[in-house]
Amino acid sequence: MEPRTETQTNTHTIDTGAPVISADAYDTAAFHAADAIAVVTNTTAPDAVALPSEDASTAELLTAVQEAGHRAVPAPFAETALVARPLLRRAGLPVPEGPLSYAIAPDLTIRYARPAASAVGSAGCLGEDDSLLVTGALHRVPWARAVTEVVVLATAPSGPVLFTLPPGRAVLTPGGNLAGEPRDDLHLAAVEIPASQVRRITPEVLEEAGLRAALARSALIAGAAERCVDLTVAHTGARTQFGRPLSRFQAVKQEEARLIEEAALVRAAVGAAAAPLDTGGPVAHGAVAAAKTQASASAAEIARIAHQLHGAIGITRLNPLHLATTRLWSWRDEDGDETYWARRLARSLTATTLWPSLAATP
Q: Express each pLDDT in 266-306 by its tens digit.
A: 999 999 999 999 988 888 999 999 999 999 999 999 999 99
| Secondary-structure percent of the chain, ordered helix, strand, coil, rounded to 5 | 50, 20, 30
| pLDDT recorded at residue 2 | 39
Q: Is the pLDDT of residue 12 over 70?
A: no
- Classified as helix, coil or strand, 152 is strand
Q: Is the pLDDT of residue 47 over 50?
A: no
Return the higher-pLDDT residue of 292 and 68: 292
**CA–CA separation, 183 vs 250, rounded Å?**
42
Return the higher-pLDDT residue of 20 and 116: 116
Q: Express each pLDDT in 137-192 by its tens digit.
A: 999 999 999 899 999 999 999 899 999 999 999 999 999 999 988 999 999 999 99
Element (H, E) at 358: helix 355-359
Whole-model pTM? 0.84
DSSP assignment, residue 51? P
**In the chain, pLDDT over 90 holds for what percent of residues?**
61
**CA–CA separation, 66 vs 358, rounded Å?**
39
| Distant-in-sequence contacts of 202-206, Cβ < 8 A, 24+ apart | 202/160, 203/159, 203/160, 204/280, 205/87, 205/90, 205/91, 205/153, 205/160, 205/162, 206/104, 206/153, 206/160
What's the mean pLDDT in 25-40? 37
pLDDT band, very low/low/confident/very high, at 117 (cuts 50, 70, 90): low
Q: Express each pLDDT in 211-263 by its tens digit.
A: 999 999 999 999 999 999 999 999 999 888 898 988 889 999 999 999 999 99
Q: Express each pLDDT in 315-357 by its tens digit.
A: 888 888 999 999 999 999 999 999 999 999 888 777 666 666 5
**CA–CA separation, 86 vs 169, rounded Å?**
23
Q: Which CATH class is domain 23-201?
A: mainly beta
| pLDDT recorded at residue 349 | 78
| pLDDT recorded at residue 95 | 93
CATH architecture of 204-356: Up-down Bundle (1.20)
| pLDDT recorded at residue 271 | 97
| pLDDT recorded at residue 246 | 86
**CA–CA separation, 354 vs 346, rounded Å?**
9
Please state the domain extents for the chain. 23-201, 204-356
**CA–CA separation, 66 vs 269, rounded Å?**
13
Residue 99 CB-half CA count within 13 A: 26
The gap between the terminal CA atoms of the chain, to the nearest Å, is 80
Contact call for residues 189 and 135 (beta carbons, < 8 A): yes
DSSP string, 170-231: SEEE--B-TT--BEEEEEEEEEEE-GGGEEE--HHHHHHHHHHHHHHHHHHHHHHHHHHHHH
DSSP string, 263-310: HHHHHHHHHHTHHHHHH-HHHHHHHHHHHHHHHHHHHHHHHHHHHHHH
Q: Is the pLDDT of residue 29 over 50?
A: no
**CA–CA separation, 207 vs 217, rounded Å?**
16
Backbone angles phi, psi at 147, to 5 degrees: -100, 165
**CA–CA separation, 138 vs 68, rounded Å?**
25
